[in-house]
Amino acid sequence: MKTPYALGRSLVAGLMAAGMLAAPALAEYPEQPIDVIVAFNPGGGTDVAARTIEPFIEKYLGADLVILNKPGAGGEVGFSLLAASEPDGYTLGFINLPAMFAYSYTRETAYSPESFAPVANLVYDPGIFAVRSDSQFETLGDLIEFGKANPGALPIGTSGSVGSSEHLAIQQVQAETESKFNHVPFGATAPLRTALLGGHIPVAAFNLSEATDYADEGDIRILGVMSAERAASAPDVPTFREQGVEVISGSSRGLAFPAGTPDEIVAVIAGAVAKAMEDPEYIAKAESAGAPLAYLDPAAYGEFLTNTSTALDKAWEIDPWVK
Residues between 242 and 271 with contacts to other proteins, criterion CB under 8 A = none
Q: Is 115 helix (H, G, I), strand (E, B) or coil?
A: helix
Strand runs labelled E in the chain: 34-38, 65-69, 91-97, 116-132, 155-158, 182-185, 203-207, 220-225, 250-258, 293-296
C-alpha span between 123 and 72 (Å, rounded): 22
Q: Does 323 bind other proteins (CB under 8 A)?
A: yes
For other proteins, give the closer residue by CB, 136 or 288.
288
Q: Is 261 helix (H, G, I), strand (E, B) or coil?
A: coil
Q: Does 193 bind other proteins (CB under 8 A)?
A: yes
For other proteins, give the closer residue by CB, 114 or 219.
219
Give the one residue of 23, 59, 60, 86 binding other proteins; rule: CB under 8 A: 86
Give the one residue of 51, 230, 241, 275 binding other proteins; rule: CB under 8 A: 51
Give the one residue of 63, 241, 290, 297 binding other proteins; rule: CB under 8 A: 290
181: how many CB neighbours lie within 10 A of its CB?
22
Q: Does 163 bind other proteins (CB under 8 A)?
A: yes
x/- track of binding to other proteins for residues 55-84 (CB under 8 A): x----------x-xxxxxxx-xx--xx--x
End-to-end alpha-carbon separation of the chain, Å?
Answer: 30
Q: Does 150 bind other proteins (CB under 8 A)?
A: no
DSSP secondary structure, 193-234, as one string:
HHHHHTTSSSEEEEEGGGTHHHHHHTSEEEEEE-SSS--TT-
The least distance separating other proteins from the CB of residue 197, rounded to whole angstroms, comes to 5
Give the one residue of 214, 240, 282, 295 binding other proteins; rule: CB under 8 A: 214
The least distance separating other proteins from the CB of residue 65, rounded to whole angstroms, comes to 11
Give CB contacts under 8 A, 24+ apart, made by 281-284: 281/56, 282/52, 282/53, 282/56
Residues 28-47 that bind other proteins (CB under 8 A): 32-33, 35, 41-45, 47
